[in-house]
Amino acid sequence: MIVTGAGGQLGRALLEEFPGARGLTRAEWDVELPPPPGLEADLVLHAAAWTDVDGAEDDPQGAAAVNVGGVQHAAELGAPLVVWSSDYVFDGRKHAPYVESDAPCPLGAYGRTKLHGEAAAGEQAWVIRSSWLYGWTSKNFVRTMLRLGADREEVAVVDDQRGSPTYVGHLAEATRQVLELPYGLYHVAAAGDCTWADFAEAIFEEAGLPTRVRRITTAEFAARAPRPAYSVLRSEKGAPELPHWREGVTECVARLRA
């Protein structure tokens, strides 16, 4: 078993959940390139990905090289494949939870590359869409809020985008259950939903920080890439149900403090 992207937050969580797997960092296999000679696997957990949503708008070809080309290269190993995709394949206009049969309509370059990556996985694959991932390593919203909250009395956070923040530890555990299901597309995200501002307040509360959250609009934040206003994911296909997003925040902050 191989885990690509082993240096990232999801890759690290997968290696804890699948301790017998061989983890490959970007230095060991840059998935923009074909697999290294002689590399073999009976299962590929393909966690390597371009995750910079705004950066994808500036360099769509670079994002596609990782999120589409990388999946194609992982599939070249000829082993069953697990690929993680994103809630950003949707445009957010539904205003009700998205299920697997809903038609994707990405708003930006990042979402387009993730959608094309799903197709590149082939038929011998599990595609797991999740949302707003965070963990105890790498760059993510929880770690950013804790860093800002340690230095500031107030942080401005978007309050008109709604999703389900998903802890990579819970997602890695659920991946083991997905492997018991037929190949296909599955939505696996935390229970409950919130805005980024709600998420930030929960992080500060868990960390015991007095930092205030100033709720702003997407327009005020002025990010380069468009994002769906509503991207809650739920499964109609019997995918594993994850704990509530607040439980994930509690576990993640506790681990960071330890």
| Percent of the chain residues topping a pLDDT of 70 | 100
pLDDT of residue 139: 92
Question: Tokens 């371009």, residue?
Answer: 50
Please, are residues 235 and 99 in contact by the beta-carbon 8 Å criterion?
A: yes
* Averaged pLDDT for residues 88-115: 97
Confidence of residue 84 (pLDDT cuts 50, 70, 90): very high
Distance CA 61, CA 204 (A): 37
Quote helix, strand, coil % in the chain, to nearest 5: 35, 20, 45
Q: Which pair of tokens denotes residue 3?
A: 């885990």
- What are the residue ranges spanned by the domains of the chain? 2-257
246: tokens are: 């607040």
Q: Model pTM?
A: 0.96
- Assess whether pLDDT exceeds 90 at residue 258: no
CATH 3.40.50.720 fits 2-257, yes or no: yes
pLDDT, mean over the chain: 97
State mean pLDDT over 83-92: 98
Q: Which residues are catalytic?
A: 110
Which residues touch 190 (CB under 8 Å, ≥6 apart)? 131, 164, 165, 166, 167, 170, 242, 243, 244, 245, 248
pLDDT tens figures, 209-227: 999 999 999 999 999 999 9
167 has pLDDT over 90: yes
Instruction: Confirm if 76 and 2 have CB atoms less than 8 A apart.
Output: no
Average pLDDT value for residue range 83-90: 98
Q: pLDDT for 223-247, tens place per residue?
A: 999 999 999 999 999 999 999 999 9
> Which residues are within 8 A (CB) of 182 and not within 5 positions of it... i.e. 6 or more apart?
none
Give pLDDT, residue 11: 98
pLDDT tens, residue by residue, 38-76: 999 999 999 999 999 999 999 999 999 999 999 999 999
